[in-house]
A = this chain, B = another copy of it.
Amino acid sequence: MQIVTPYLLFLGDVPDALAAKTALGIVDWRPEWCVGQLRLPGCKADAGVPDMTIAEAKAAGVATMIVGAVNAGGVLPAHWVATIVAALDAGLDVASGLHSRLADSPAIREAAERSGHALHDVRHSSERFATGKGAKRTGMRLLTVGTDCSVGKKYTALALESGMRRAGLDADFRATGQSGVFISGRGVAIDAVVADFISGAVEWIAPAAAPDHWDLVEGQGSLFHPSFAGVSLGLLHGAQPDAFVVCHEPTRSHMRGVAHPLPSIEEVIALTITCGRLTNPAIRCVGVAINTAALSDSEAASLLRETGARLGLPAVDPIRTGVEPIVAEIVRLYGGSDKPS
């Protein structure tokens, strides 16, 4: 899936910022792509970019309107349809992260056919993939893995992209979830792919590349999550990472949505290496990213220090401390850039 930038962010009339978190995440990581926002009367979210009409957005060079907010249930509210139809008729593509498909609305489907502009439903994969081959590809790859779902795997991969680029490395974030697809303009919501094609889809997401190029692949789920471990394993095999970073949330008492306790970071490292060797015998852990938001400054500092010492790895909070120690470890292990930084 390839989404043409720049974007107009459509926030609808959602009641709070949380309902617009997809749009807010795009502004966080790709402000240069976010030309403006379009809000309906009553909207309580604000992406912090200029309000504009569809005509103004078109005149400003916008290519795609992103439906970057969800109401409860993830379906498309009927009173949002007219805005989406108007965007298509004005010459924009429309991309959505809703559970329901844009084309399930007859008015939207007809407008897309009439205008010839594209509809992208990032939660639904229309791409046809081959099954995974498992053969080693050129280029370097890093995967973020987790002790659970929703522990910062996307954030960590994006922070590493920024940090590695600052260090002069050639690095690209590779999206495997819907928010990530908007942020990179390309990718696949891997949990929406038919099961037989999980690893094949990841081989498409992170293809062969130049020897010193890094793909930073967004992880999903956890090898220890009883609902989603199959997705995580297919993603690991398809990504064939040289390096991985374990993401963790230290205050969580059980895994999201189930009663199971979290695995230890050591267990995640061991099983990721055991399984990951199948498609990359050189796989190794290069760091740990811990979300310490719930801890005080001193608690966070001592947890990171203790974890790093115990594992012999850089341990960071991507928000609180940044990921530079992990970038330094990558440069130490695999070499830096030949380019002047």
On A, residues with C-beta under 8 Å from B are 131-135, 190-196, 198-200, 223-224, 226-235, 237, 257-260, 271, 274-275, 278-279
A selection of 13 A-B contacts at a CB cut-off of 8 Å is A131-B227, A134-B226, A190-B195, A192-B194, A195-B198, A195-B230, A195-B231, A195-B234, A196-B231, A224-B278, A226-B237, A229-B233, A260-B278
Decide if B191 touches A226 in the complex (CB within 8 Å).
no
Decide if B199 touches A191 in the complex (CB within 8 Å).
no
Stoichiometry (number of copies): 2
Chain B residues with CB under 8 A of A227: 131-134, 196, 199-200, 237
A200–B279 CA distance with the chains assembled, in angstroms: 27
Decide if A258 touches B195 in the complex (CB within 8 Å).
no
Chain B residues with CB under 8 A of A193: 194-195
Q: Quick one: which of B135, B198, B226, B275 contacts A132, CB cutoff 8 A?
A: B226
Chain B residues with CB under 8 A of A199: 226-230
Chain B residues with CB under 8 A of A231: 195-196, 198, 230, 234
Chain B residues with CB under 8 A of A228: 131-132, 196, 199
Q: Quick one: which of B133, B135, B226, B278 contacts A278, CB cutoff 8 A?
A: B226
Q: Quick one: which of B226, B258, B278 contacts A229, CB cutoff 8 A?
A: B278
Nearest neighbor of A274 in chain B, beta-carbon distance = B271
Decide if A230 touches B198 in the complex (CB within 8 Å).
yes
Chain B residues with CB under 8 A of A134: 226-227, 258-260
Chain B residues with CB under 8 A of A234: 195, 229-231
Decide if A194 touches B196 in the complex (CB within 8 Å).
no
CB distance from A298 to the nearest CB of B (A): 35
Nearest neighbor of A259 in chain B, beta-carbon distance = B135
A230–B258 CA distance with the chains assembled, in angstroms: 20
Nearest neighbor of A224 in chain B, beta-carbon distance = B278
Chain B residues with CB under 8 A of A135: 258-259
